[in-house]
């Protein structure tokens, strides 16, 4: 009863905090340092929070724009506002961290993962997409026009666009990009297949035609989404894709058209990115308040956020995302927080979520038996995990996708329910599967004397109490769970089929395509395609229909829902958890605009494309306050409740 009461009080406390734009705790006996610069910043920030900018970018016809070679075309553009705060300052170094050194500097091919993509796939796309309403904004292209075939978009490029080595970025780089991504030399079948759908033609030095080859009846929004891609520096590769590219360029980054390029790196200490001098993108209003730092230092900090907080407290890094509610409550007790030197920021967003949870390798016995897989699902009480401190900041994911919406059409079947926690059903299934005897420790064995042992591989640590909960629940059904935490090499084991169950996450898009996730064609490939090793003829037929679909968007969405239901029935995946709130600890000199984050923006302290900055005057005041052993008011900011879904 005591634990439940404590849980209730904690939950009510969170609700209280969440209901306020600003929370302040003032120690009764504290000696305070008054900072006028902090006071002014916070007042202005709250004014900005009351009147967030219009993030939309509706496209319109630019009557005065033309391209000589295409005199009869109507050209569209959009004019997004300047999202940046009037208080934003340019310059300085942002100190952040990653948990492991990137396995590769390539953003595709073997061993490329989310980290390598985030750091090195920073070339600007033809069109940027607003993280508030998914409207299109000029980026590599300033204007676009639609051909009458409803398959081709003409893009007029920004003539001021430069690669980070100073070379002009032109139409040739976009033509080369499609050839590059279609090449077998990059050893990436997903990229090969996706870019085989595009045909690019050079119109002039700064204009291209991009045709989406599959015969689909797309709207303009869908067509822009399908033909939007990033360039590859043709001059860097001398116009050819190297035969041994995946090996020879493993640690050689390409030039970028983005605002930051790799300057130095060290396997132990991390990576340093420097701002591209006079970055061309700042000519756009919507990029003016973005990418404010001169330098970004990525420190390698092994382990979870709790370990990173140790580095934060000594000011070796500027901020840390809190991974769960336990860390959130611990943060409230940290001296650097109660003394007001470090702020806590809570950002709400609407989550686009792909597969995150437990992936079953059906090629590994006994998981080739659907009865065993269903029994495992019945024996894990994921909903019960939400009734712990861990679960306060988590929500249950119930499908292989969530929030995948385009043009108001949802691609997800939100009626799907995972198999419920039910030990009785688990026991019945295991008896039917032949595991009907027990050893002296209560673990099931089959007629061959083999114990029902299953290993769960994970690269991101789960709280010990949650692992203990899963272990004890599974044992009630006679299943012995083993947990293998691998900070390094977990993804390689998954790609090389060396796992039974993997707790992990795969990226997704607003328009999902699970062809690569489940089709039998990819059951034996050494990559992240069909890591389940699944072979199912009926599902293959649905996946092929979807991959080659030519009908309306609404019918395509219904077909995806049918695929989701089929996957759910095969019991190869347990959807786990997701969050739609990010909590961040950051030193007070790290400043954010009053709107904090946009509707679909998850990581609001992403430095390469973020709208935040560091204030040197606040930094100096923090130094003085600490030297004089004085406090500054403790602050918790909650500025984006407008993004909360009812």
pLDDT in tens, 297-325: 999 998 778 899 999 999 999 999 998 77
More confident residue, 12 or 400: 400
* pLDDT score for 395: 87
Domain co-membership, 293 together with 405: no
Domain count, the chain: 3
What is the chain's mean pLDDT, rounded? Answer: 91
Domain co-membership, 463 together with 601: no
- Is residue 128 in a domain? yes
For 151, the domain range is: 102-258
Domain co-membership, 110 together with 186: yes
* pLDDT score for 30: 76
Chosen domain end from 563, 578, 593? 578
Q: What is the pLDDT of residues 318-348, one digit of tens each?
A: 999 998 777 888 899 999 999 999 999 999 9
CA Rg value for the chain: 26
In this structure, of 129-143, 186-200, 379-393, the range with the lowest mean pLDDT score is 379-393
For residues 399 and 568, the answer to whether their CB atoms sit within 8 Å is: yes
More confident residue, 460 or 588: 588
Confidence of residue 26 (pLDDT cuts 50, 70, 90): low
Q: What is the pLDDT of residues 73-120, one digit of tens each?
A: 999 999 999 999 999 999 999 999 998 899 999 999 999 988 999 999
Closest CA to 344 of 641, 23, 643: 23
* pLDDT score for 268: 86
For residues 285 and 55, the answer to whether their CB atoms sit within 8 Å is: no
* pLDDT score for 377: 97
Distance CA 9, CA 370 (A): 42
Confidence of residue 22 (pLDDT cuts 50, 70, 90): very low
Confidence of residue 183 (pLDDT cuts 50, 70, 90): very high
Distance CA 620, CA 627 (A): 11
Domain co-membership, 566 together with 472: yes
Confidence of residue 408 (pLDDT cuts 50, 70, 90): confident
Confidence of residue 460 (pLDDT cuts 50, 70, 90): confident
Distance CA 134, CA 115 (A): 23
As a 3-state breakdown, the chain gives helix, strand, coil percent values, each rounded to 5, of 30, 20, 50
Determine the distance from the C-alpha atom of residue 240 to the mean position of all C-alpha atoms in its chain, rounded to a whole number.
31
Q: In whole angstroms, how far apart are CA 295 and each of 244, 345, 612?
A: 32, 23, 13
- Is residue 382 in a domain? yes
Residue 504 has pLDDT above 70, yes or no: yes
Domain co-membership, 547 together with 637: no
* pLDDT score for 255: 98
- Is residue 349 in a domain? no
- Is residue 186 in a domain? yes
In this structure, of 37-41, 220-224, 438-442, the range with the lowest mean pLDDT score is 220-224
Q: What is the pLDDT of residues 583-636, one digit of tens each?
A: 999 999 999 999 999 999 989 999 999 999 999 999 999 999 999 999 999 999
Q: What is the pLDDT of residues 251-261, one digit of tens each?
A: 999 999 999 99
Domain co-membership, 623 together with 554: no
Chosen domain end from 578, 601, 624? 578
- Is residue 615 in a domain? yes
For residues 281 and 79, the answer to whether their CB atoms sit within 8 Å is: no
Domain co-membership, 522 together with 401: yes
Domain co-membership, 44 together with 124: no
- Is residue 298 in a domain? yes
For residues 590 and 605, the answer to whether their CB atoms sit within 8 Å is: yes
Domain co-membership, 427 together with 541: yes
Q: How many Cβ atoms are within 10 Å of 347's Cβ, its own excluded?
A: 26
Residue 17 has pLDDT above 80, yes or no: no
Q: What is the CATH number of the domain that holds 232?
A: 3.90.76.10
Q: How many Cβ atoms are within 10 Å of 41's Cβ, its own excluded?
A: 20
More confident residue, 197 or 23: 197
Q: What is the mean pLDDT of residues 202-215?
A: 95
Q: How many Cβ atoms are within 10 Å of 547's Cβ, its own excluded?
A: 15
Q: What is the CATH number of the domain that holds 497?
A: 3.10.105.10
Confidence of residue 125 (pLDDT cuts 50, 70, 90): very high
What residue ranges in 349-487 does DSSP mark as E strands? 356-360, 395-396, 405-406, 409-410, 437-438, 444-445, 453-458, 480-485
Distance CA 94, CA 605 (A): 10
Chosen domain end from 578, 595, 611? 578
Distance CA 271, CA 544 (A): 42
Domain co-membership, 593 together with 557: no
Domain co-membership, 394 together with 422: yes
């Amino acid at each position: 009863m005591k634990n439940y009461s404590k849980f209730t009080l904690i939950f009510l406390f969170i609700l209280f905090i969440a209901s306020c734009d600003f929370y302040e705790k003032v120690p009764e006996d504290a000696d305070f340092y008054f900072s006028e610069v902090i006071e002014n910043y916070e007042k202005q920030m709250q004014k900005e929070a009351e009147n967030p900018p219009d993030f939309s970018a509706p496209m319109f016809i630019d009557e005065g724009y033309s391209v000589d070679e295409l005199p009869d075309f109507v050209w569209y553009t959009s004019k997004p506002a300047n999202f940046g705060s009037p208080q934003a300052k340019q310059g300085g170094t942002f100190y952040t961290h990653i948990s492991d050194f990137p396995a590769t500097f390539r953003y595709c091919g073997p061993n490329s993962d989310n980290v390598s993509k985030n750091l090195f796939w920073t070339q600007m796309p033809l069109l940027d997409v607003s993280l508030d309403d998914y409207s299109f904004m000029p980026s590599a292209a300033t204007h676009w026009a639609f051909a009458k075939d409803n398959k081709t978009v003409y893009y007029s490029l920004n003539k001021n666009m430069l690669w980070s080595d100073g070379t002009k970025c032109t139409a040739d780089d976009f033509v080369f990009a499609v050839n590059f991504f279609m090449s077998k030399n990059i050893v990436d079948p997903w990229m090969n297949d996706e870019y085989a759908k595009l045909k690019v033609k050079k119109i002039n030095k700064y204009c291209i035609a991009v045709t989406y080859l599959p015969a689909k009846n797309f709207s303009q929004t869908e067509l822009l989404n399908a033909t939007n891609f990033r360039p590859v520096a043709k001059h860097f590769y001398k116009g050819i894709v190297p035969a041994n590219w995946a090996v020879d360029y493993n640690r050689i980054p390409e030039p970028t058209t983005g605002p930051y390029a790799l300057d130095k790196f060290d396997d132990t200490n991390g990576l340093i990115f420097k701002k591209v001098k006079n970055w061309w993108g700042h000519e756009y209003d919507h990029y003016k308040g973005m990418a404010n730092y001169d330098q970004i230092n990525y420190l390698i900090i092994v382990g979870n956020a709790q370990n990173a907080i140790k580095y934060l407290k000594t000011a070796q890094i500027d901020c840390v995302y809190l991974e769960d509610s336990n860390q959130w409550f611990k943060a409230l007790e940290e001296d650097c927080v109660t003394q007001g030197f470090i702020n806590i920021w809570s950002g709400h967003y609407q989550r686009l979520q792909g597969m995150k949870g437990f992936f079953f390798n059906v090629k590994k016995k006994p998981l080739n038996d659907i009865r065993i897989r269903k029994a495992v699902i019945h024996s894990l009480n994921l909903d019960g995990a939400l009734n712990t401190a861990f679960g306060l900041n988590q929500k249950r994911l119930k499908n292989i996708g969530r929030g995948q919406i385009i043009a108001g059409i949802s691609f997800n079947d939100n009626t799907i329910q995972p198999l419920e926690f039910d030990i009785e059903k688990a026991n019945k299934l295991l008896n039917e599967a032949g595991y009907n005897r027990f050893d002296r420790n209560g673990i099931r064995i089959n007629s061959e004397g083999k114990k029902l042992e299953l290993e769960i591989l994970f690269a991101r640590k789960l709280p010990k109490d949650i692992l203990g909960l899963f272990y004890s629940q599974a044992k009630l059904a006679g299943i012995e769970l083993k947990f293998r935490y691998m900070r390094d090499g977990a993804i390689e084991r998954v790609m090389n089929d060396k796992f039974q169950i993997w707790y992990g996450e795969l990226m997704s898009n607003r328009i999902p395509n699970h062809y690569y996730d489940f089709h039998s064609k990819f059951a034996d490939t050494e990559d992240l395609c069909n890591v389940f090793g699944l072979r199912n003829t009926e599902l293959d037929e649905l996946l092929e229909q979807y991959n080659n679909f030519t009908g309306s968007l609404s019918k395509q969405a219904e077909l995806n829902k049918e695929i989701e239901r089929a996957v759910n029935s095969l019991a190869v995946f347990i959807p786990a958890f997701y969050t739609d709130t990010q909590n961040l600890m950051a030193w007070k000199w790290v400043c954010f605009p009053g709107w904090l984050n946009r509707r679909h923006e998850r990581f609001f302290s992403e430095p390469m494309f973020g709208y935040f900055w560091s204030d040197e005057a606040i930094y100096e005041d923090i130094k003085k306050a600490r030297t004089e052993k004085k406090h500054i008011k403790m602050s918790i900011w909650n500025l984006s409740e407008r993004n909360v879904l009812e």
